[in-house]
Structure 1
Amino acid sequence: MEGHLYEQLYKHILHEIKEGQLKAGDRVSSEKELAERFGVSRITSKKALEKLAEAGVIKRIQGKGSFVADGIRGGLEHKRHSEEITNLESDEKERPLIGFIISNFSDEFGLQLLRSIEKQSTEHKYDLIIKRTRGSRDEEERAIQLFVRLGIKGLIVTPIHGQHYNAELLRLVLDKFPVVFVDRYLKGIPVCSVYTDNKKAAQDLTIHLIGRGHDKIAFLSPPEENTSTLEERLLGYTLAFTQEGLKLNQDYCLTNLKGTLPMNLDGTAIDSDKETIQRFLEQYPDVKAFVASEFLVATMLAQVIDSLGKSLDEYEIVCFDSLNDYLGKPIFTHIQQDERRMGEEAVDLLVSQLFGEAVPEQRIIEHRIIIK
């Protein structure tokens, strides 16, 4: 029933009234009862009751519930209800808009998130418009301004790397416009955010390598400043050493790789990163284990190792969001983020805001570690 959302509930309650199962003054099931009875969300049942109240079919009394309105009978009334259903379905042809702004997406991360957000938006009868900013702050601001002009009702956004906040985003938040951040959060901004526990995930990866007998483990990442996802991955890596009673060598933290950032995917920065990684491997030949904050960083590392004529079997590389090889097996041991759940939760929490409901500031989505 969730796929049809509130129209099905709307029609079902009208049918009960028409058949005399519900009479004037009778109490109608509550949002919670309807949700449990039909296996739908509270958002769905609430909207169905609100539409019935708008049509004059029921009266909602604060603190008491919903009741069938006086004078609701068959015949002429049923005709009016049928017309109301027709109008309702006609209204659905012009669905409200919600926006999704993402810095970049790829097969390893972002594409499944996008699919999930689009699917869940459709389930809730919203049309989704999408803008990819490629890591540009100006593009992000322009996208927000454009979406607002187009009349979006709410916004899901993955903020770009390396910023405290975007002025346009902050303005929306201060205006209490419905916003959900996905895949990261911005410190000090009270916005509902849906993301993986990146600290715990990086800790899990590092402890996996320690458990494999490694004590010299490097961490490779783009600059982590002001990007919660990368900051927490670095923190998780460092905490793993403390937890396991090992000494962390700060020289093994290589966090100046910029080639995988969306604004730098032209190849020039990647070549520079590969040179940086090569110098690191030559300077620290005893380091044989690596935690890469991103799949593309892991692949760069593997390419450099191969270019030096070394065997990849000598090294162990773990990362976030790995792809599979042509046999369907994971290329690297990695953290698999649940993009489908992240997308569903982001849309559900946005729709809850649209209905005036309070939502949590943080929604942590469970991750899995996939062993190569």
Structure 2
Amino acid sequence: MKNKIKEQIQSGKLRVGDRVPSEKELTEKFHVSQITTKNALVGLAEEGIVERIKGRGTFVCESDLTASIRPTYEQEGLIGLILPSMKTKIEQEFVNYIEKYVSKNGHHLIIKITRESQFEEADAIEMFRKMDVKGMIIFPTEKETYNDAVLRLSLDKFPFVLIDRYMENILTYSVTSENKAGTQEAISYLLNKGHKHIGLISPIITNTVTDERAKGFENAFLKRGTTINKNLWLTLGFNDISQHKTPKLIKEFLISKPEMTAIFTMNAELAAYTHLAISSLKSDGCQEIELLTFDSPGISGVTFIKQDIEECSKKTVDLLLEQIEGIYEPKRIYVPVELKISENELSKMIPT
């Protein structure tokens, strides 16, 4: 324990004046008794490395350790971030917050975009390992099988965290939003409003994110004891999702399902395309369809499920640092989401 704290000081992660984790925090982190932790901190204080202040905590002092620190790029270390694209606001928010917490912990973030290619993903992992990064944060590509390069990281116990998606049958560190619970709440909200024929628009269900959201959709009907009509589901191949093709495909789908009164989309991009299709049908005098989606589409009047991107990012960086510091206890963390009802719908709910 003493050596770990010394390493953090030598690496610059803990600087002069910084508070060292408390006895309770260290006891939980290293799974030892509090007396062992106390002895470690007392030993560091006797060496003049830390100062223990009653009622305040333990703090890093000026010492030979801090005097020898050279705050160089190499010492602070590199963290690799691999993600499939940067085209959505959600992905941009993830990059922003991950960089914030990586930097706050004394490291530098480098980014590689795979454009949903497993070959690019494998190359990025190999490149980062050659660069001797301290660890990696990976958004896996949307494919039916996981990349062998990712599996090798797990077998080698190389520090990495999967974010947004995870490997279902392999124990790794991962952080994801409460996709199932959030979607179930959203569909229950529509059912409670009297919608019986609710559609779903989704990419091909190939990963844990779309799978969990689909299960959440189903669970809302099961909990209510209502029959679900999967003929109202439209799944799109990845090559079919574009601003030129998708709105037309969705419009054709909606026209073929006149009984549909509400529709749920798996993500903000599909919500935008669906909104265009609904607006086009509305101008043609067709029945209005209520739209609800996962993530904000930036469209007024649309109810959506809001992810806590900052909390997801913080927990991801925390789990990565845990591994870098020598602790390996794989875990899957789910971060709560919130149903954000549009102002238009809220105004209808307020009694006059």
Which category describes the TM-score, using the shorter chain as reference length? 0.7 to 0.9
1:34 deviates by: 8.1
Asked if 1 retains the 8 angstrom alpha-carbon contact of 2:272 and 2:297, the reply is no
| Aligned equivalents of 1:247, 1:73: Cα separation in 2 | 70
Counterpart position of 1:67: 42
Q: CA deviation at 1:68?
A: 3.5
SS of residue in 2 equivalent to 1:128: strand
Matches within 5 A, 1:114-125: 114-125=95-106
Give the number of equivalent residue pairs.
315
Alpha carbons of structure 1 residues 73 and 238: separation in structure 2 relative to 1, 3 Å: closer
1:348 to 318, 321, 327: 318
Aligned with 2:252 (options 272, 276, 279): 279
| Structure 1 residue 216 corresponds to structure 2 residue 186 | no
Counterpart among 317, 321, 330 of residue 295 in structure 2: 321
Identify the residue that residue 32 of structure 1 maps to in structure 2: 22
2:84 is aligned, of 97, 103, 115, to 103
Once the two structures are superposed, what CA deviation does each residue of 1:294-351 show, in whole Å capped at 9, x if it has no partner? 11111111112223324698211000111435xxxx5520110011011111001000
Cα 1:361–1:93 change in 2 (3 A) is closer
Letter in 2 for 1:339: I
The answer on whether the counterparts of 1:322 and 1:331 sit within 8 Å (CA) in structure 2 is no
Structure 2 counterpart of 1:252: 232
Shift of 1:33: 3.0
Corresponding residue number in structure 2 for 1:153: 134
Q: Give SS of 1:110's match.
A: helix
The TM-score normalised by the length of structure 1 is 0.76
Contact 1:260 1:296 in 2 (8 A): no
Q: Which amino acid aligns with 1:208?
A: Y
Return the match for 1:332 from 287, 290, 302. Answer: 302
Q: Report the RMSD for the aligned CA atoms in angstroms.
A: 3.1
- Residues 121 and 361 (structure 1 numbering): CA distance in 2 closer, same or farther, change over 3 Å? same
Post-superposition offset of 1:90: 3.6
Structure 1 alignment gaps of length 5 or more? 13-29, 37-41, 47-59, 75-79, 262-266
1:7 counterpart = 2:22: no
Letter in 1 for 2:246: D
* Distance in structure 1 (CA, Å) of the matches to 2:157 and 2:74: 28
SS at match of 2:110: strand
Looking at structure 2, the residues matched to 111 and 240 of structure 1 have their Cα atoms a distance apart, in angstroms, of 31
Whole-Å Cα distance in 1 between the matches of residues 48 and 265 of structure 2? 67
Q: Per the alignment, do residues 31 and 340 of structure 1 end up closer, same or farther by CA in structure 2, a change over 3 Å counting?
A: closer
Distance 2:47 2:83 in 1: 49
* Residue 143 to residue 92, structure 1, CA distance change in 2 (3 Å): closer
**Alignment CA distance shift 1:157-1:341 (3 Å):** same
Between the aligned partners of 1:103 and 1:257, the Cα distance in structure 2 is 16
CA contact (8 A) 2:159 2:324 kept: yes
Where do 1:201-240 residues align within 5 Å? 201-225=182-206, 227-240=207-220
Superposition TM-score, scaled by structure 2 size:
0.80
Task: Give the conservation status (yes or no) of the 8 Å contact 2:98–2:314.
Answer: yes
**8 Å CA contact retained: 1:322, 1:336:** yes
Q: CA 1:368–1:8 in 2, change beyond 3 Å: closer, same or farther?
A: farther
Q: Is the 8 A contact 2:140 2:162 kept in 1?
A: yes
Structure 2 SS opposite 1:8: coil
Contact 1:278–1:304 (CA under 8 A) maintained in structure 2: yes
Change (3 A) 1:99 1:72: closer
Q: SS at the partner of 1:194? A: strand
Percentage of pairs with the same residue: 27
| CA positional deviation for 1:170 | 0.8
Q: Distance in 2 between matches of 1:71 and 1:126?
A: 30
Structure-2 change in CA distance of 1:351 and 1:215 (3 Å): same
Query: Post-superposition shift, 1:280?
Result: 1.6
Bigger-Rg structure (1/2): 1
Measured in 2, the distance between the counterparts of 1:335 and 1:365 equals 13
Match of 2:203, SS state, is coil
Q: CA deviation at 1:91?
A: 5.1
Q: Give 1:257 shift.
A: 4.7
Change (3 A) 1:252 1:73: closer
Distance in 2, matches of 1:312 and 1:351, equals 54
